[in-house]
A and B are shown apart, each in its own frame.
Chain A
């Protein structure tokens, strides 16, 4: 038992006591007037409010329903269920009686962050909260058992808990959690808790069904876009399509005469919104609105001009070093032979199925926002700032997300807009929905980079030096500029870092230099599922394939030689190769490619099998993807995430590209921003090889190996080396 744990439980205790006085008011207020669609909440409308919590994480109702509080957001990745499994495991409750609810960011603020971090990105939902949520479950169990022992006036050591029941072993007396929960709630939390050994898990580690599936099959699941509040109006918005442009003038008076239109509002200096009784009327009125724009300083920016800027960075003198050993320049200068290549990666939009939206109600005293967000606390901060009210006078109610992928995490631009609009009509709830076009034109795009690679080889074909110069955009510079230190964005080197627990390179080279020349075009970047691991893995894994080809080595064997000091990377690579049958012959016309990397705490590798017709039609037949996330909390959901990551990664590889013309994005909808559909989806075999001892994420890492495995297989099939994406820009037709 560490001191930190004890302090944590004390903190929870102190804040719990503070909270008991206000909890009914907070939850009661929430439940009045409309149904807050908690992820899997409220049996028949009875809220957890009626029952005192055992602790911040656990409420047990008299009927033995277990309400587990989940701080992180559910956006499809399944961590709502995974986190509930962790609490339930330590709670020893009946899994069939488990429901969940979200505490609000405002409650977290009021309770000294009893639920910790709300941020749901970077595949961190489980890997960064497993410890304290399990302790929450364990502490609640101990309090429940203690309450039963007190009631029976027997030593607590004689009592055992299992499946929400407590048994006094010597006498055989039994009670349930629901019967002692009220008494347990008044006990002092334990000073220390002992977590179970994972080998004893009964709920965690199992292939359990998700808790949030049924409503998604009947239309009952309420997403942000579906929210309806009494007296609510709807808003559509158009921000200047040119990045950095401003509103000059618009014909509000004429548009305000249209049916259903209530108000035309300028939002900030760059956007105009129409508020109407229905969203359709707001949207069509907005389309009829004539807006005169000042296109600002970026009106001449294009994909070509951005590419030139980045290209210059490939040879620039100044660059921030991410990983270095030996003297790569000297070794390259004396190398018997060199292999060189330049790669690039384009802008891409998250394109969540549900476009950005938020509902806001503002008065001079209070601001409330209902929105799908990956980070309730960041949404609250954005709302408070836009409302010009202290956070304690604001609240955010998290609604289910129709996809997140990083777009709904760091920057809450749509929340700020919704609050700005609501301020123009105090007291009226206003739901702002972005059209797909608005969503495509105002993304927080996957950053654009180029990469120049050079490998020095000795006369036997061994790599003596590797140099990687990345030139291009820093997400951190765009989103959290305060975190740039000495001109360096540490996140830009994901998958290329020196050996360590996060995003480390899986190879050793006698001489190595990886650096970054930061070049930030005027296009807002964002964290895009997989983040910088995506392009870095393409750069390194495709380039190593080039070296293997140039030196007539098997790509798998070349990697293995470089991985002797990276056993976890190597084990996962071997697991993928073995399942794929790397040494076995393939059907005629089918070719393999391989890639591996490490990021978001997990080790991953993939083998792709593809064929390319004479006409150049690509078919991806099979993907074998291995992953070592340390602990596998719910293997069937890991499989779902890995499969999904290939849809995301292969959509990006095949089609994903946002191009800039005259300072704005050219793609406005799915007709020009294509994504993978059912007919292109390969079979995906997921190999989970949890080696224990650490917790890695699973939502993102395998995205990064999707494109390079397929690109390397395409090279094997065609001899064509694709160095810039997407594939739609290239012909694979046989020459």
Chain B
């Protein structure tokens, strides 16, 4: 029995050492918010943080992650959807099918930690995740809104929410 530190909790699991972290998270630990999209680190749907850095877990053997390293998945990013990016994502209705969005948000969270006021070039360089529905422009707008303390007005979307607010 090996252990991983995931979302602040020590979790036990059993898997062959070369099993990608992605499949340990999804199948052993029940954290299915992290997605399988390609298996070759191309699409970024499987992105999590390990000690604050983004990792594409579909190609990361679980044996190369130590019990001490701190893994954060989409489920642990805030625990309750309160991360500024999650709030911006909801305010601007970013997701379409949503399948790639966990990875998008995790990549964006790491970017904002490193560069709290990212330029368009920073965003282009850091967010290389694939979205087939085509949410890129709203992803960009939401990252900027989160960077600006939740100012969603600049996106100009005027979305009416059920609570009566408009973003």
Identify the A interface with B (CB < 8 A). 75-78, 95-96, 98, 206-210, 212-223, 225-226, 228, 234, 259, 278-281, 351-355, 400-405, 433, 435-437, 636-637, 639-640, 643-648, 651, 669-671, 675-679, 681, 683-684
Contacts and interface: CB of A to CB of B under 8 A. Distances in A.
A637 B90 CA distance: 14
Given A214-B81, A221-B98, A683-B137, A402 B160 contact: no
A353 B93 CA distance: 19
Interface of B: 15-16, 19-20, 23, 26-28, 30-40, 42-43, 45, 73-75, 77, 80-81, 86, 89-90, 93-102, 105, 123-125, 127-140, 157-163
Contact of A278 (B27, B128, B138, B157): B27
A354 B162 contact: no
A405 B130 contact: no
Contact of A217 (B43, B89, B159): B89
B128 A678 contact: yes
Nearest to B125: A679
24 contacts: A75-B97, A76-B95, A207-B157, A209-B162, A213-B89, A213-B98, A215-B98, A218-B81, A218-B86, A219-B31, A219-B75, A223-B35, A226-B26, A278-B23, A278-B28, A354-B99, A402-B98, A436-B39, A643-B135, A643-B138, A644-B96, A651-B132, A670-B38, A678-B139
A353 B40 contact: no
Nearest to B34: A219
A210 B31 contact: no
Given A278-B27, A677-B130, A220 B33 contact: yes
A-B interface, 4 closest residue pairs, ranked by CB to CB distance from nearest: A219-B33, A647-B134, A644-B134, A76-B97
A229 to B, nearest CB: 13
Contacts of B140: 678, 681
A656 to B, nearest CB: 11
Nearest to B123: A678
A213 B90 contact: yes
Contacts of B15: 278, 280
Nearest to B28: A278
Nearest to A649: B134
A353 B161 CA distance: 28
B102 A219 contact: yes
Contacts of B138: 640, 643
A351 B132 contact: yes
B131 A640 contact: no
Given A218-B75, A353-B132, A678-B123, A96 B163 contact: yes
Given A209-B161, A669-B38, A226 B128 contact: no
Contact of A669 (B42, B86, B94, B131): B42
B40 A670 contact: yes
A640 B35 contact: no
Nearest to A647: B134
Contacts of A76: 95-98, 133
B95 A636 contact: no
Given A208-B159, A670-B42, A678-B139, A218 B74 contact: yes
B159 A207 contact: yes
A669 B130 contact: no
Contact of B35 (A98, A353, A637): A353
A220 B80 CA distance: 11
A219 B32 contact: yes
A213 B158 contact: no
B20 to A, nearest CB: 7
A78 B97 contact: no
A671 B128 CA distance: 13
B136 A678 contact: yes
Contact of B40 (A75, A234, A671, A676): A671
A217 B42 contact: no
A98 B163 CA distance: 12
Contact of B130 (A209, A435, A675): A675
Given A213-B89, A226-B32, A353 B131 contact: yes
A401 B23 contact: no
Contacts of B77: 218
Nearest to B20: A280
A391 B59 CA distance: 41
A228 B95 contact: no
A221 B100 CA distance: 12
B1 to A, nearest CB: 15
Given A207-B158, A217-B81, A677-B136, A228 B30 contact: yes
A32 B146 CA distance: 40
Nearest to B165: A209
B19 to A, nearest CB: 5
A217 B90 contact: yes
Nearest to A646: B134
Contacts of A207: 157-160
A643 B137 contact: yes
B32 A670 contact: no
A670 B128 CA distance: 12
B95 A216 contact: yes
A670 B134 CA distance: 16
A399 to B, nearest CB: 12
Contacts of B19: 280
Contacts of B20: 280
Contacts of B75: 218-220
A296 B40 CA distance: 30
A630 to B, nearest CB: 22
B38 A401 contact: no
A448 to B, nearest CB: 21
A138 B139 CA distance: 37
Most buried by B among A95, A207, A280, A671: A280
A636 B93 contact: yes
A676 B86 CA distance: 24
Contacts of A213: 89-90, 93-95, 98
A217 B89 CA distance: 7
B34 A223 contact: no
B39 to A, nearest CB: 6
A437 B140 CA distance: 30
Contacts of A78: 96
A430 B125 CA distance: 40
Contacts of B95: 76, 213, 216-217
A640 B96 CA distance: 8
A278 B88 CA distance: 36
Contacts of A676: 136
B42 A671 contact: yes
Nearest to A351: B132
Nearest to B74: A219
Contacts of A219: 31-34, 73-75, 102
A640 B93 contact: yes
Nearest to A226: B32
A403 B96 CA distance: 9
B9 to A, nearest CB: 15
A213, A222, A405, A435 — most chain B CB neighbours (10 Å): A213
A78 B99 CA distance: 14
A681 B136 contact: yes
Nearest to B137: A643
A78 B160 CA distance: 15
A212 B140 CA distance: 20
A280 B129 CA distance: 23
B112 to A, nearest CB: 15
Residue with the greatest number of chain B CB neighbours at <10 A, chosen from A75, A435, A678: A678
A89 to B, nearest CB: 14
